[in-house]
Amino acid sequence: MRALATDTLKALAEPLADEAVAAALRGRGIEPAVALRTGDTVAAERARQERRLPFALVTTPESLSLMLSRADATERLRHVEVVVVDEWHELLGNKRGVQVQLALARLRRFNPDLSCWGLSATLGNLDEALAVLVGPRGAGRIVHGRVPKTLVVDTLLPAEVGRFPWGGHLGMAMLAPVIAELDAAASALVFTNTRSQSELWYQALLDARPDWAGQVAVHHGSLDREVRGWVEQALKDGRLKAVVCTSSLDLGVDFAPVERVLQIGSAKGVARLLQRAGRSGHSPGRPSRITLVPTMALEIIEGAACADAAASGRIEPRRPPDRPLDVLVQHLVTVALGGGFEADALRDEVRTTASYRDLSDAEFDWALDFVTRGGPALTAYRDYRRVVRGDDGRYCVPDRGIARRHRQSIGTIVADAAIRVAFQRGGNLGTVEEGFIGRLRPGDTFLFAGRVLELVRVHELTAYVKRATRKQGAVPRWAGGRMPLSSELAAAVLARLADADTGRYDGAAMAAVRPLLDLQRRWSRIPTAGRLLVETLRSREGHHCFCYPFEGRLVHTGLASVIAWRLARGAPATFSVAVNDYGFELLSAEPVDWKRLDDPALWSSEGLVDDVIASLNASELARRRFREIARVSGLVFQGGPGAPRSNRQLQASAGLFYEVFRKHDPGNGLLSQADREVLAQELELDRIGAALDRVEQRPLERVAIERPTPFAFALLIERMREQVSTEKLADRIERMVRDLERAAGR
């Protein structure tokens, strides 16, 4: 977002520099100045803006909320006439978007004639996106751009696909073709889905082409701001041949020199594919081209399906969060700082937003009670009486310490548990997860920021490193790296598989995977939307069940746990579970009567919530989720500038609150919010229920197989990854593939 803000500032400054435009504005008494306000803005610039706001201000949701927390916010912001929310899809479906909704409602109270625009190129639910932007009581219209834009989606096919795929089996086998594509382009972006993957590919490119040193860079959100800024500017200036990046460069930043975009692995969603494709040919009339680089054979099918969905405009919707009370609690304190509020008036104002249109009086009253006295459990503690009602009936924040801490904590971005990485002699490199550094000892090496580093020591949340002499190192793992397959892309994949089931293999991509799918059909069936394929197998490991709903790995995690729970409830059994985006595996050491899978009650959505909670230890997931909620709502303080609290301290504090509320304040709204968010976001309860409903409507086809099919093989390897080392796994996979290929014949 900060990179986009900087880019937008430059784009606005160009027309304002035109003499005719400047003269016209000055004729209206307006000085044609544009400025930037983000967390990176230096103190001198912020002070200049405090004295006088510019004609146009480019800012972020957090900085806007900070402006609303000023005592003179009404006077300073009541003259705002237009708000433009760029990349609205990036905000719509999360709490930052809720923060924007509340800020817009506040600005509309200052100026009822406020005009608001939202910009996005990748939204599947435009009508809902419009309604959320203008509020349920507003009116608006959708304006479609008519500039013709050509999108080219192709796939870089491997020389040999193989008939038994597993996650990453193509991987670096695609390095040579990728280098050939980059060699032919003046400038390119190479997108990966994880930060770990970006580090690996960057190092692999340099190892293969050392002459590209200085022309290839890596960019992801854990790198230091100065490092990211240098890469972005060098890319705009045309000084870089390629940048290996993650979603940190997804947004609509204008990198005009970029000719090509390569996507390592499946994009996992149509909107993400379009967003990344748009980084090339980023000007009217120029085509945007994205080349998919599969890391496993089944991703070749995903690539063809993604191109189908993009061509037909089947883009994923973004749904706004429903009544997040932690954001409401934060907003109450913000508005209390920004001149104060009357309870009834603010309740009505909050309800003009889409996320809080169904907010009940009881929920608002709970939030108000929570900020005024901390609720029943925290009444005795002065620090949690953040807002006070004055004699005039207005609520405000009289304590300067509370005001300062709140302003330092405004925002809804909850960072992963992270630790700073820096050279011994100075120079920040970025951050990695505490858990990763915690497993290293001094002298161990790891790959980060495109360098092999040696850990020297860890002191006060900083890992001090030096350049390593060894070439090999561990690769950091960041949370949230695995993106699940979207429903829209899953439907497109099933449509391609249905064509293959009838013998249609349109295009080079589908022709490449034909041997794999032909073998799948010969040994079993091809999964399609018209049936739920279940394969059963007996091996030396035990009794396997492979099921292919094609709902994405998050849904399959919940679905597998629920089915295993229901099977074990009828006849005691213990199951191991493995999942990928296409299906799940249940493995039992003891015999299982898989005919019980034919019982419709096993796949019913009735009683789903209770079964999900029982089968997935949802209380522990809620405890983890509560940490984020506690930070957004201001229950735990992250520390001031130069004195941050460690994530371990924050976790301990949040855990203590969680236990206290469970015991002494079970009606606490933040507890119920944690439960709701776990079910909706981490476990995707709605998608699990929809998946079960779809299963009930299509026949279940159970096939007893003699050996793992291509689809089953991918699930087997997912489970084995957790059990054996990488070296042993590679040897074992090689033996398994050799045996299966021998059984498959020509």
Percent of the chain with pLDDT over 70: 92
The dihedral region occupied by 426, where left means phi > 0, alpha psi between -120 and 50, and beta the remainder, is: left
Token digits for 598?
């034919």
Q: pLDDT of 565-604, one tens digit each?
A: 899 887 777 788 899 999 999 999 899 999 999 999 899 9
pLDDT grade for 651, boundaries at 50, 70 and 90 = low
Which two structure tokens, joined as six digits, stand for 680? 């909706």
DSSP assignment string, 64-129: HHHHHTSTTHHHHHTT--EEEESSHHHHHTSHHHHHHHHHHHHHHHH-TT-EEEE--S--S-HHHH
Distance CA(238)–CA(295), nearest Å, equals 29
pLDDT at position 207 is 93
Q: What is the average per-residue pLDDT within 292-314?
A: 93
The pLDDT tens digits of the residues spanning 53-72 come to 999 999 999 999 999 999 99
Angle at 569 between CA 568 and CA 572, to 5 degrees: 50
Cβ(450)–Cβ(206) below 8 Å: yes
What are the structure tokens assigned to 453, written together?
């580093």
Predicted confidence at residue 439, as pLDDT, reads 64
Radius of gyration of the chain (CA): 27
Residue 481, pLDDT score: 46
Instruction: Report pLDDT digits (tens) over 347-376.
Output: 999 999 999 999 999 999 999 999 999 988
pLDDT tops 70 at residue 255: yes
For position 210, what pLDDT does the model report? 95
Q: String of b and e for 31-44 (b: at least 16 CB within 10 Å)? A: ebbbbbbeeebeee
Confidence (pLDDT) at 300: 96
The pLDDT of 449-456, averaged and rounded, is 85
pLDDT value, residue 503: 94
More confident residue, 439 or 104: 104
pLDDT 10s digits, 109-164? 999 999 999 999 888 899 999 999 998 777 899 998 876 778 899 999 998 888 99
pLDDT at 709 over 90: yes
Share of the chain above pLDDT 90, in %: 55
Distance of alpha carbon 746 from alpha carbon 742, whole angstroms:
8
Over the stretch 408-446, which tens digit does the pLDDT of each residue have?
999 988 755 567 889 988 888 888 876 677 667 788 888
- Sign of the torsion formed by the C-alpha atoms of 305, 310, 313 and 314: positive
**Residue written as tokens 């350049």?**
467
Q: Is 664 helix (H, G, I), strand (E, B) or coil?
A: helix
Structure tokens at 130: 């419009």
3-state helix/strand/coil string of 306-373: HHHHHHCCCCCCCCCCCCCHHHHHHHHHHHHHCCCECHHHHHHHHCCCCCCCCCCHHHHHHHHHHHHH
Distance from C-alpha of 154 to C-alpha of 288, rounded to nearest angstrom = 11
CA distance 259 to 247: 18
For range 612-628, the mean pLDDT: 76
Return the bridge partners of 588, or none: 543, 575
Mean per-residue pLDDT, 265-284: 87
Residues in the chain: 746
HSE (side-chain half, CA atoms, 13 Å) at 256:
7
User: Could you say which DSSP state residue 287 is in?
Assistant: P
Lowest pLDDT segment from 87-91, 334-338, 439-443, 684-688: 439-443
Strand partners, 458: 463
Predicted confidence at residue 505, as pLDDT, reads 96
Note the pLDDT of residue 236: 86
Q: What is the pLDDT of residue 319?
A: 92
Angle subtended at Cα 39 by Cα 34 and Cα 45, rounded to the nearest 5 degrees: 45
Q: Name the least confident of 179-188, 225-234, 257-266.
A: 225-234
Question: pLDDT (tens digit, 9 = 90+) per residue, 176-203?
Answer: 999 999 999 999 999 998 888 899 999 9
Between CA 51 and CA 110 the distance in angstroms is 20
Question: What are the residues whose beta carbons fall under 8 Å from the beta carbon of 616, sequence distance 6 or more?
Answer: 557, 558, 561, 683
* Closest of 196, 333, 297, 197 to residue 635, by C-alpha: 333
Q: What is the pLDDT of residue 745?
A: 87
**DSSP per-residue string spanning 630-649:** HHHTTSS--EETTEEPPHHH
Mean pLDDT of 319-345: 96
Judge whether residue 646 has pLDDT over 70.
Answer: no
CA pair distance 299, 485, nearest whole angstrom: 11
Q: Bigger pLDDT: 546 or 569? A: 546
Which DSSP string do the residues of 582-649 spell out, in sequence order?
A: S-EEEEESS---GGGGG-GGGG--TTHHHHHHHHTTHHHHHHHHHHHHHHHTTSS--EETTEEPPHHH
Which residues make Cβ contacts (< 8 Å) with residue 341, sequence separation at least 6? 332, 335, 394, 395
Mention every residue, 6+ apart, whose C-beta is less than 8 A from residue 724. Answer: 732
Q: Bigger pLDDT: 330 or 171?
A: 330
Backbone angle region of 625, left / alpha / beta, with phi > 0 → left and psi within -120 to 50 → alpha? alpha
What does the pLDDT read at residue 226? 84
Enumerate domains of the chain plus CATH numbers.
151-311 (3.40.50.300), 418-467 (no CATH), 524-615+686-744 (3.30.1360)
Q: Does the structure show a pLDDT above 80 at 621? A: no
Average pLDDT, integer, range 301-314: 93
Closest Cα to residue 102, out of 149, 71, 72, 65? 65
Residue 480 has pLDDT above 50, yes or no: no
What's the rounded Cα separation, in Å, for the pair 453 and 414? Answer: 27
